Structure 1
């Protein structure tokens, strides 16, 4: 007789949930939990699921060894103990569950529990690898199980989060909610408390932290935001404006940090207002002084969303309604009365900061009776300015406090005289920088000043590119390392990508020095040339299999691309501006920056400088794009037609066809549009796209033709066009066009009763949208899966998915367009049949993060999807 196998295999590869309980006593609860597990598309593993050629104990242990999650349900009974054993099955199963296996325990309220079960529950309560919750009835149990399993599925995504340096990750550039502080904050506890109190007042829509550069406004804003999570349950967003130079870019920048895509279809202000509506959020706008003319836009936003609060850092007051100004003061200095000793000096926040930063570069540094006077002298001379103190403390690695104080004495006395027109604190900060720079070699000093041409962060490759012919040419990495050691340049590593950054006040100093040396134009030209070349190298990847990586790489460089456009614009290199903008057309579309490009093109046209015919075609096209969707008119049609003509005359057939397709799309927005004329133009553009092998545009043109048929009620024709669009995208391995085609195709499949095919398509578009960080696509897919669930009578999934999708739409300002909302009718019908079940799902969805909903929808997603989701 063959030996009994030690491992019992099951045919499926789903996530397995082992359910442990007594059988007869909890029969109803077991059935309900089994159905809940299956509702999440997981596999329930239960010892009473059919007959097997194994003993109950052997079967239980074998299935337990293969399971992923342990669920225990206990009531009154401990269960039977075998004749040759000392424990019941439920205790044996609990003991055999591996320590790494998540254990979810649910205990029914009882007044007459078995003593042995009480002892087991006592053990569970002190087991830090298990969670346990009480329940009173089956409905409450099912709700708890569904919520806990959904959370665990989301955590499975997090477990796949890649370590820094993993180059295989495919994702859009991350948008952190709050910057990570690499050093502790010293001496701002009282400020944090006061600013929190200001934010709590209903009449303070905007709190502005005002003070000179280096006073610590940004750091205080981060600390306030971190301490205010309880006040803003709907989120805290940190919007860095350091690299934003034009007031018109305020709204596009806020939109980017919120995940609001600007595809031109709706006014950006409307989408942001929709995203903020009824939400208690805190939006931190850092470094506002350079675009202070944009301040009225904040009033428009909080008027539309009165629960939103804005925390602004600026060197100047905004002077808008609803603003409360908070003056950020210097750190507290030691008093002039009483004996000077280390303990008394350390009680002042200025000295405490100096000591902390000095120990960061020289761990054995201590405040002693011998050096305390010099340290206090340094802090007083620097007037308690945090950044100035940090720069001085960084020199402790090489210099004594006494020598630093002496050098500062000389610098301040000499340099402040030359800057008497500056506020005293600005003079102090500038002279501290001057003093720090004076300690550098000429080569290091030149490099530091040259770095001022970059935006918020930059790579070593970029530095080397602008260094040709500079004094530090060929020594960029060594010179950068020395500046990092001197705390003048900050290294930043995210996901294995090494970048560098200057503080904004250091960049300001560097730019002033470049201007004084008469070399600013030369460096800006070199900077613009490098990033224009980078665009030419990366942009081809936007159409095809390399799309995710290309979008991510361009996103990383966005601040410097903006700076490059500004350098080109200021240098009247207008043809280069247009070429860069057109080369990145697909990126602007995918990432939602079309209104920003429109601002550049309007500025270009207003310069009235000589430009090529092609440049005028590009500028006219981008200037009309938003109007195409928001204000379609005969003027827009004519403008896009003129763009097509100019492209054609300049010899670019492909661009001319894109403009022609845009003109057809503008006609499609008219309430009484001529379907035949629109189709004729789209087909003419389509023929050109096929001729020049522009698969991206060919796929999008098929989507346009599909919509002509949708509006005309010809669903079979629409399905054919959307399917052709998807086929083209599949052939080109293009995830974005495939997601767009798929979301349109799936709606038609669902409306024509092809539910199974629609479900699989929505699963596909969900995975693609996750990889692209395309939240709009995720919301559409979850809406579709809600419609599928509602059709099948699965009330919990229907309610949960629809609620999460609705939250995503509100958060990112996506308008629920009537023709696209295929979930509405099935949900309304289900609400008539099962109002309680749907309401339970909606309650679960309201408490569910987007990642949790995706984990429920795709419990067995492939690694690339999990890795991308882990970065959301």
Structure 2
């Protein structure tokens, strides 16, 4: 390559990188097959499907090529798009930019016709003696070629390091001791075993434990070294790099730990090579981040000392050959299978560490039913970060857990380390963060400060939106990569998407910096605009087939969406805040945020009472009416909603009219003396309007409400028919949420009719929709319905399990329903009439109370499948027809 060197952008896993070049759409199946083949060999595919940008600019693929090891080209019919001001397509440009010495594997699809310019490129490739090429016909055929060729290439390129023999006394008694751990490591047993396995594996060279300050990297490394001792018969060397600031001192520091001194005769690197030759040793390099530029020196060392293995702790990835990266996560703060169970959280690693350190700080400390919730809250608030937990636990000498939790809003000033023997950089969380941020370049520091406006869980797309609003003049992708590498920003995969977060302490540090610079509000305003844009894009999808995807997308960043609205409310931007609230009605309902939105809207109206438009007032009335429609004064609520409907009508918002009429009707129905005639007329009109707008979700909800009115009048057949129509309306529109509500009502009717198998089917389908949407309240309804079915069949223990699980969900979501909706309780009461079955119900409820929502759903589904399989076998034996599988 010629010209100025481009910035390096590497793949995150540091394995051998295989760059794949092809047109994207034309060869999508082939690219997927090649990716699978590369990953089977544990190599890293460099493919833009894996990145953040669907149309990578030239600079980006230049940078990826610069950091790749092998080039694969896949060519079919198309030459590809030629960008403005370019003379060749990106496809040819990638081949041109591949370094001459890079191995190139070219695969050409057998076709009758090809773009002439692509034919010219292929002819040139065939004349290039640095490239190997083969024809292929199908994606499977291509995958086999790639797998075979890569394996052969790696075998040919393998270069075994040569070891020299030295006298045994050259390294005897020169080993630096691993520090003694004064406390038992908590919650890391599996991770310790995994890292030991990586170190012990044949060919392992360097394992880097990466994480932010205070995450417990050094403590983990010590535990790994202790457990790995049997794999390293020549011992372990501990090399502290905390006070080493100059990269060129790396070898000297390692040599000092080994007892090898620099001097005349041989370079220090060769001295170390001779001292380590033939020695199966573990060298633990602690706190490498401040001399990360010395990483290539480490490569040269383990190349000449092939029997040594390196364990490194660092805030940043080293980005060297042979490196295996292990991200050290925070300690879990709850049982993932039952995240709402306090008793099961008691055994969570973060809680165990807090309790251990609190007991050490205060011998009188103990966990009780009274303080357990506060302890779990502390662990959640501190993200399970060990250093933060230890610092907080030290405060139990003077503060009870509840008071510590209350003060955590100001944690950076509260958590002053009381342990005088810790290094200065660990005496407060602020010092650990300061130390990390000082190592960043100015672009990354700017990004980190402004990312503090985000709540945990945001996407790269949202960061790029912020960058455009803030006019950042640097590469967002590269800066984000730097922050991730430095462990100041964490990333996780959620529902197939990468989301990013800042630890609480890092975020507060950034906000403090923004505030001191007088820029906090302008950054928060830009953050709010990011989520206003996202709302306008995703809201139209919520009512149809894209509902699940839109809910998933919004749920990924729900905390930021809410933070954006809160910022708009705080600054009094009534129109934008109300518009976001209105557009996302279905999402707020699915997420259980409607009451919270009502509170925002009331606050918004209070701040803008003199200037709020009629539309804003109508939206506020809608959400407040929704919140209050279950109250005894629901007739006044209904009147307020009808006024809002008139406002929407005057502005031509037909859906607004239909939605408000529906809620007003439900409010009327909740009155002690409901006017059924009025409610029926309003709902009928709402259903008509929803149908006219093609809003199947709204038609479904209006029909469900009409069915409930029929139930009030004891018109059971009519109610059943309305619920069936509601289910059909939902299914025709492709949405799932309103459909789950209709299925719950239909299941209830089938249950009352004694059609238990059909009721069970309705509840199971409703449960599947709620799972897809991650709607816990819907899961509770489904589990209660299945509980009633089980109770009707006399299955006391299983009915109790489902009841206990549903009760736990309701407690967590704070959902309280009118008694008629808790009809499963009546079925349970019948079982409680017999002492034997009553005991089974009680036992089941205690078991179910400890289940997580989705754990309980899976239990319910498996129970039905098992029962129906048994019924099928019995029916086959007797020649009868069995219930169908759900």
Residue 198 of structure 1: how far off its partner (Å): 4.1
1:853 to 1:815, Cα distance in 2 relative to 1, 3 A: farther
Picking from 325, 330, 333, the partner of 2:417 is 330
Pair 1:662–1:817, CA change in 2 (3 A): closer
Name the residue aligned to 1:190: 357
Matched residues in 1 for 2:517 and 2:818: separation? 56
Asked whether the equivalents of residues 449 and 513 of structure 1 are also in contact (C-alpha less than 8 Å), the reply is yes
State the alpha-carbon separation in 2 of the partners of residues 285 and 777 from structure 1.
Answer: 35
SS in structure 2 of the partner of residue 453 of structure 1: coil
Listed as ranges, the matches of 1:715-794 within 5 Å are 715-794=716-795
User: Could you list the runs of 5+ residues in structure 2 that have no partner in the other structure?
Assistant: 1-326, 328-335, 394-399, 869-886
Query: CA separation in 2, counterparts of 1:518 and 1:224?
Result: 30
Deviation readout 1:219-266 (Å, 9 max, x if unpaired): 47867999xxxxxxxxxxxxxxxxxxxxxxxxxxxxxxxxxxxxxxxx
CA distance in 2, matches of 1:764, 1:283: 43
Partners of 2:790 and 2:350 lie apart in 1 by 49
Distance 1:733 1:210 in 2: 40
Aligned to 1:646: 647
The CA deviation string for residues 488-523 of structure 1, in whole angstroms up to 9 with x for no partner, is 433444454323333434433433443454544443
**1:566: Cα distance to partner?**
2.9
Q: How does 1:238-317 map to 2 (within 5 A)?
A: 288-289=406-407
Q: Contact conserved, 2:459 with 2:557, CA < 8 A, in 1?
A: no
TM-score, normalised relative to structure 1:
0.52
SS at match of 1:468: helix
Is the contact between residue 286 and residue 314 of structure 1 (CA under 8 Å) also seen in structure 2?
A: no
- Alpha carbons of 1:615 and 1:715: their partners in 2 closer, same or farther (altered >3 Å)? same
For residues 313-462 of structure 1, the aligned pairs below 5 Å read 330=417, 332-334=419-421, 350=422, 379-380=423-424, 382=425, 384-388=426-430, 390-391=432-433, 433=434, 437-462=437-462
- Kindly provide the CA deviation profile for residues 611-656 of structure 1, in whole angstroms up to 9, marking residues without a partner as x: 3322221112112221111243443122112211111112211102
Quote the residue 1:405 is aligned against. none
TM-score where L is the length of structure 2: 0.52
Q: Which moved more, 1:458-467 or 1:852-861?
A: 852-861
Pairwise mapping of residues 93-112 of structure 1 onto structure 2 (< 5 A)? none
Deviation, structure 1 residue 481: 2.2
Q: Secondary structure at the match of 2:452?
A: helix
Greater relative contact order structure (CA < 8 Å, 6+ sep): 1
Give the secondary structure class of the aligned counterpart of 1:671: coil
Q: CA deviation at 1:580?
A: 0.3
Contact 2:545 2:735 survives alignment (8 Å) = yes
Flag the 1:859–1:680 CA change in 2: closer, same or farther, 3 A: same
Cα contact 2:791–2:828 (8 A) shared by 1: yes
**In 2, Cα distance between equivalents of 1:761 and 1:846:** 26
Asked whether the equivalents of residues 355 and 367 of structure 2 are also in contact (C-alpha less than 8 Å), the reply is no
Shift in alpha-carbon separation, 1:448–1:796, aligned structure 2, 3 A: closer
Encode CA deviations 1:2-28: one digit per residue, 9 max, x unaligned.
xxxxxxxxxxxxxxxxxxxxxxxxxxx
Q: Could you tell me how far 1:665 is from its partner in structure 2?
A: 1.4
**Which residue matches 1:484?**
484
Per the TM alignment, residue 598 of structure 1 is displaced from its structure 2 partner at its CA by 0.9
* Structure 2 SS opposite 1:524: helix
8 Å CA contact 1:574, 1:604 repeated in 2: yes
What is the aligned partner in structure 2 of residue 304 from structure 1? none
From the superposition, tell whether residues 628 and 388 of structure 1 become closer, same or farther in structure 2 (CA, over 3 Å). closer
Q: Are the aligned partners of 1:802 and 1:842 in contact in 2 as well (CA < 8 Å)?
A: no
Q: 1:596 to 1:290 in 2, by over 3 A?
A: farther
SS of corresponding position for 1:713: coil
- Seen in structure 2, the aligned counterparts of structure 1 residues 495 and 805 have a Cα distance that, compared at 3 Å, is closer
SS at match of 2:683: helix
Cα deviation, residue 288, structure 1:
4.8
Please identify, of 654-663 and 517-526, the stretch whose mean Cα deviation from structure 2 is larger: 517-526
SS in 1 for 2:629: helix
User: What does residue range 576-655 of structure 1 map to in structure 2 within 5 Å?
Assistant: 576-607=576-607, 608-655=609-656
Local SS of the residue matching 1:645: helix
Distance 1:785 1:206 in 2: 31
Contact 1:629–1:666 (Cα < 8 Å) also in 2: yes
Matched residue SS, 2:468: coil
Aligned residues: 516
Task: For residue 675 of structure 1, report the CA deviation from its aligned partner.
Answer: 0.8
**Given the superposition, is the C-alpha separation of residues 667 and 537 from structure 1 closer, same or farther in structure 2, using an over 3 Å criterion?**
same
Per the TM alignment, residue 487 of structure 1 is displaced from its structure 2 partner at its CA by 4.2
How is 1:85-164 mapped onto 2 (pairs within 5 angstroms)?
A: none
Q: 2:767, 2:779 within 8 Å by CA — same for their partners in 1?
A: yes
Distance in 2, matches of 1:667 and 1:741, equals: 20
Matched residues in 2 for 1:187 and 1:671: separation? 51
Q: Please say if residues 216 and 386 of structure 1, whose CA atoms lie closer than 8 Å, have aligned partners that are also in contact.
A: no
Q: Aligned residue for 1:853?
A: 859
Within 2, Cα distance between the matches of 1:329 and 1:518?
26
In structure 2, distance between residues paired with 1:678 and 1:629: 15
Q: Residues 635 and 732 of structure 1: is their aligned pair in 2 closer, same or farther, counting only changes over 3 Å?
A: same
Task: State the 4+ residue runs in structure 1 displaced beyond 6 angstroms.
Answer: 177-188, 208-211, 214-218, 223-226, 282-287
For residues 327-365 of structure 1, the C-alpha deviation after alignment (integer angstroms, 9 at most, x for no partner) is 85515234xxxxxxxxxxxxxxx1xxxxxxxxxxxxxxx
Shift of 1:585: 0.4
- Residues 458, 175 of structure 1: alpha-carbon distance in 2 compared, 3 angstrom cutoff: farther
- CA, structure 1 residues 287+528, in 2 after alignment: closer, same or farther (shift >3 Å)? farther
The correspondence of residues 536-547 of structure 1 with structure 2, limited to 5 A, is 536-547=536-547
Deviation at 1:466, TM superposition (A): 1.6
Q: CA RMSD in A?
A: 4.3
The whole-number CA distance in structure 2 between the counterparts of 1:183 and 1:796 is 33
Residues 624 and 640, structure 1, Cα contact 8 Å, conserved in 2:
yes
Aligned residue in 2 for 1:256: none
Q: Distance in 1 between matches of 2:735 and 2:663?
A: 21
* Alpha-carbon displacement from aligned partner over 1:9-52 (angstroms, at most 9, x marks no partner): xxxxxxxxxxxxxxxxxxxxxxxxxxxxxxxxxxxxxxxxxxxx
Equivalence for 2:668: 667
- Mapped to 2, the partners of 1:196 and 1:649 lie a distance apart of 69
Q: Would the aligned equivalents of 1:682 and 1:701 in 2 still touch at CA under 8 Å?
A: yes
Residue 780 of structure 1 and its aligned partner are, at CA, apart by: 3.0
